[in-house]
Amino acid sequence: MRTLKNPPYLQVALDTPDIDETIRVVKALPESEKIIIEAGTPLIKKYGCGVIATMREIRKDSFITADLKTLDVGALEAKIAHEAGADAAVVSGLAFPLTIKDFIGEARKIGIYSSIDMMNVSDPLKVLREAHAMPDIILLHRGIDSESTSKHSWDYLKKFKAKVKGKALVGVGGGIDLELAKESLASGADIVIVGRYVTKSNDVASSVQSILKLMR
């Protein structure tokens, strides 16, 4: 089992539903235990969880997460991610409380990390209370479609981390570039999720290194 015992981490979100572009980016990523590779939701929707095996062929030892954003049958989808070779899988914070609980419980049982994406969730702590379960990772995520109307709140991130009290890693994502990555880390983010700043870069390795340097 690959583990996340030494935060912070950079999670590279591969959302573009283009397998050739995905392979290009994965191959260009520098070797680092600080990198998490994310098989993004659009990518999985187009190619299925089999895309994780493609990533694994290129990066045998990397930590790979499957962003399923599960909304139902939590235990089943956690198993699907595990069988595909993922080290972590993501359930949506909008799911029914029992779905979230079953997802987290099954992930723990089969030996992968459980992650919950709080996109469009107004009260993440309420979601966790109602599910009666604590995941390994909590993602405070601003969606692409809402980037023009909403901003990241670093004060909220600090307060949220204080309330979680180290029971889970807390990540932040949504339009993160170098400056926002710096602010995220300064505010205590355990995981910084970066997509286009890396995937659309002409020099993937250099863009990744610019963020990794902030973690040293």
Q: How far apart are CA 28 and CA 198, in angstroms?
A: 10
At 209 the pLDDT is 97
Residues of the chain with pLDDT below 50 are none
Please report the pLDDT score of residue 174 as a whole number. 87
pLDDT digits (tens, 9 = 90+) for 134-156: 999 999 987 666 665 667 778 89
The whole-number pLDDT of residue 144 equals: 64
Measure the CA–CA gap between 205 and 168, rounded to whole angstroms. Answer: 29
Please provide the distance, in angstroms rounded to a whole number, between the alpha carbons at the two ends of the chain.
Answer: 25
Q: How far apart are CA 43 and CA 15, in angstroms?
A: 5
Helix (H) or strand (E) holding 18: none
**Residue 74 and residue 101 in contact, taking contact as beta carbons nearer than 8 Å:** yes
At 94-148, the pLDDT tens digits run 999 999 999 999 999 999 999 999 999 999 999 999 999 999 999 998 766 666 5
Distance in angstroms (rounded) separating the CA atoms of residues 143 and 149? 10
Domains and CATH numbers, the chain: 9-215 (3.20.20.70)
**What is the value of pTM for the model shown?**
0.94
